[in-house]
Structure 1
């Protein structure tokens, strides 16, 4: 997974211009390679379908994940942050879940 900015148009232009580098090899450039599967993320409007890319040098594929999402999490970063802040304030897990509208 490669973390990219939220603006998908900017990500597309960076892919087309060859500005995204491969984290798996030295000097590789990422190019567009379709999309990852669509998934529901709590805290976002609708489902999310991240862009995929493939290195032109080593042929490894990567999912381009917006910075507002966290790797392998079903909740947006903002929702996770709110839960952590509430826990630090002494709120229990049931109270946090009720406040955020998620299962305890």
Structure 2
């Protein structure tokens, strides 16, 4: 897993979470918003994604701790699936979980 965070001190040991090894890049917004050596490393995309997720969860579901994980998975799946073929991708996802013959 690759994690990109801002320079907040609480994120300093994020690479050692849960006994796993994560790649961790830090962007200090006081210095720059995008890494000058790699313009793909910044926090704006995830901040935008998180804002849209919170808005959707509040609008559609409210907040349920028990169901949060499933709401998050659905949101991320919908976000990464082409809208014009979402039904085809949905059927493919079902066939990966259930043996459909």
TM-score, L = length of structure 1: 0.28
Task: Identify, as 1 or 2, the structure richer in strand.
Answer: 1
With CA pairs under 8 Å and 6+ residues apart, which has the higher RCO, 1 or 2? Answer: 1
